[in-house]
Amino acid sequence: MDTKLNDIAAVAHRLVELCRIGQYDQAQQELYAEDAISIEGDGQKPDAVTRGMAAIREKGKQWADNLVEVHGGSVSDPVIADGWFSVAMGLDATYKDMGRVAMKEIAVYQVRNGKITHEQFFYNAEKA
C-alpha cells in the first residue's frame, strides 16, 4: 500500500475507533481540517451543508443536546479508496424532538494531507 493510502487508512481506522466509543468531539478535534465541509443527504435542503469546524462543532452540539438516550449503535470497518473512505453506521436513539428513531447510514469521507476535509451522510431514519 502506498504512503497516501496508508495515511487515509490511519485516519479511517482512528475515526472508526473513536466513533465506536462515542468520542465524536475528539474525532473532530484530532482528525478534521479547520475548513472541513459536512453535508447531510444529497445536500439539497437549505441547512444541509455546513462549512468549517466551528459550524460543524455547533451542529454536533445541537445534535447531542437533542439526544435523550442511546439504545444501541454500530460502526463498520472502513472501506478505503484513493482519497476517500466510507463507513456504515447505525444508531438507535431517543431524541427530544423525534422520539425513538433507528437510523442506518453510509458516511463518506475525503482525506487530504492527513485530515478529513469532507464528510457526507446518506441515511434512512425510521421510528423505532
65: cell is 443536546
Residues near 63 by Cβ (< 8 Å), separated by ≥ 6?
none
Q: Domain containing 119: what range?
A: 3-127
Q: Which pLDDT score is estimated for 3?
A: 60
Residues 35-52 have a mean pLDDT of: 91
Phi, psi of 66 (to 5 degrees): -85, -15
* Radius of gyration in angstroms for the set of CA atoms belonging to the chain, rounded to a whole number: 14
Global pTM value: 0.90
Question: What is the chain's mean pLDDT, rounded?
Answer: 92
Around Cβ 70, how many Cβ atoms within 10 Å? 11
12 pLDDT above the threshold of 90: yes
The residue ranking higher by pLDDT, 66 or 5, is 66
Residue 127 — very low, low, confident or very high, per pLDDT cuts 50/70/90?
Answer: confident
1 pLDDT above the threshold of 60: no
Which CATH number goes with the domain that contains 44? 3.10.450.50
Residues 45-64 have a mean pLDDT of: 92
- Overall domain count for the chain: 1
